[in-house]
Copies of this chain bind each other. A is one copy, B any other.
Amino acid sequence: MPDFIPRNPDFERSVRESWTTQSFLRLLGAEITAVAPGAVETRLPWRADLCQQHGYFHAGVIATLADVTGGYSAYSMLPAGWSMLSTEFKVNLISPAIGECLVARGQLLKAGRTLFPARVDVFALKDGNEKLVAAMQMTLMGLEDRPELEAR
């Protein structure tokens, strides 16, 4: 893995502040638990309204947590004031997402000029044990100005 040198010395504060501006993350109750250059960890406690038909975490909840975890892994490597945008993500749902909470760990693969590929692992925590429930591979895009409507 390359060594990621942040371009924004205040990257951790920027990540944590940006996180609070996404209303959907509040609705879900998702939290950031760790921030490093090119790598972020998040978690999401189970709630009865986040489920599919069997009471497990919904695939859409898992994808959302993975998406933002990869997104902020990339955001941590942007210059101050830039914006980050998901352009595509792919998730494999590997095992049923049963447990007290989800834990997601993102790892940037490259801090490019424009594109930031990343991987994310999502675990379910149950009785103190983590089990891999999903794997994401994705592309983020960094934008110098505020994300214009048609920046893509």
Give A contacts to B, CB under 8 Å.
18, 21-24, 26-27, 48-54, 58-61, 63-65, 67-68, 85-96, 98, 109-110, 112-115, 117, 119, 132, 135-137, 139, 141, 146-147, 149-152
Contact = CB atoms under 8 A, between A and B. Distances in A.
Nearest to A110: B94
B58 A95 contact: no
Contacts of A151: 113-114
10 contacts: A59-B64, A59-B86, A60-B65, A89-B91, A94-B110, A114-B141, A115-B141, A115-B152, A119-B137, A137-B137
Contact of A139 (B22, B27, B92, B110): B92
A152 B95 contact: yes
A61 to B, nearest CB: 6
Nearest to A112: B152
A67 B135 CA distance: 16
Contact of A152 (B48, B64, B113): B113
